[in-house]
Amino acid sequence: MLPYSSLDHIRIVLSHTSHSGNIGAAARAMKTMGLRSLYLINPRLFPDKEADARAANAGDILELAKVCTGLDEALENTVLTAAITARSRELSHDVFDARQGAHELLRYAQQQPVALLFGRENSGLTTAEVSKCQIIIHIPANPQYPSLNLASAVQIMSYELRMALTENAAPTAIRPSASFNELESLYAHLEELMIASDFLDPQKPKLLMQRVRRLFSRARLEKEEVQILRGILTALGKRW
């Protein structure tokens, strides 16, 4: 019997979806592979009849979908988020193909929530959105025409997650990871001290905080490690 609880810890997050039909089609793709958790960030139109029609018998996924006003709300309490993107980035995180990325996500989804973040139909994810993720997943496609329909991308990743689950009946246990909320608090604390110490000019930040985020994304900090770093920052902050 498959450990469905691992799939229950996986969120499909759609950011600023323009066409409600894509939301319905994504819900159908999720249900066929056993995924149930759908988060929508500022969809242009939802609920909508077109979404219901495209969802077919996956209307329950739409009924349980959580509509969020921002990315932070959608990623609350997750411990790992994958940006699904085909675009190369100046400051790239660890990059996995769809199959490798599915295995990586399931490692963390044993007991804690993880997320897959999909961007707008016409432009994909923004640099700011990718900076909030810890890894990038690239779906291999024809280099002459790599553009995938949103629902198709969700279907591919849902399939890879299910296949990874069947291949890893007893995944390796990992220590409790820092949540999205804890990491965001760490970044805010660190940025505050960097400004106070004149290490960071808020008027000319350049790419410094993006580089910091990339550094810690590679480290995959545990809860206890974040607590240690926050303690160090608090002690240093007393000097300013």
Along the 240 residues of the chain, how does pLDDT read in single tens digits?
Answer: 344 468 999 999 999 999 999 999 999 999 999 999 999 999 999 999 999 999 999 999 999 999 999 999 999 999 999 999 987 666 567 899 999 999 999 999 988 999 999 999 998 999 999 999 999 999 998 988 888 899 999 999 999 999 999 887 555 667 889 999 999 999 999 999 999 999 999 998 888 999 999 999 988 999 999 999 999 999 998 876
Looking at residue 5, what is its pLDDT? 62
Looking at residue 239, what is its pLDDT? 75
Looking at residue 175, what is its pLDDT? 81
Amino acid at 127: T
Nearest to 162 by CA among 63, 29, 48, 68: 29
Q: Is 109:5 a contact under the CB 8 Å cutoff?
A: no
- Distance in angstroms between the alpha carbons of the first and the last residue of the chain: 57
Whole-angstrom Cα distance, residue 40 to residue 240? 41
Looking at residue 212, what is its pLDDT? 93
pTM of the full predicted structure?
Answer: 0.90
Looking at residue 16, what is its pLDDT? 97
* Beta-bridge mates of residue 137: 84, 96
Looking at residue 169, what is its pLDDT? 56
Whole-angstrom Cα distance, residue 171 to residue 162? 14
Looking at residue 176, what is its pLDDT? 86
Q: Is 22:65 a contact under the CB 8 Å cutoff?
A: no
3 C-beta neighbours (distance < 10 Å), count: 15
Q: What is the 3-state secondary structure (H, E, C) of the chain?
A: CCCHHHHHCEEEEEECCCCHHHHHHHHHHHHHCCCCEEEEECCCCCCCHHHHHHHCCCHHHHHHCEEECCHHHHCCCCCEEEEECCCCCCCCCEEEEHHHHHHHHHHHCCCCCEEEEECECCCECCHHHHHCCCEEEECCCCCCCCCCCHHHHHHHHHHHHHHHHHHCCCCCCCCCECCHHHHHHHHHHHHHHHHHCCCCCCCCCCCHHHHHHHHHHHHCCEHHHHHHHHHHHHHHHCCC
Looking at residue 171, what is its pLDDT? 57
Whole-angstrom Cα distance, residue 153 to residue 40? 16
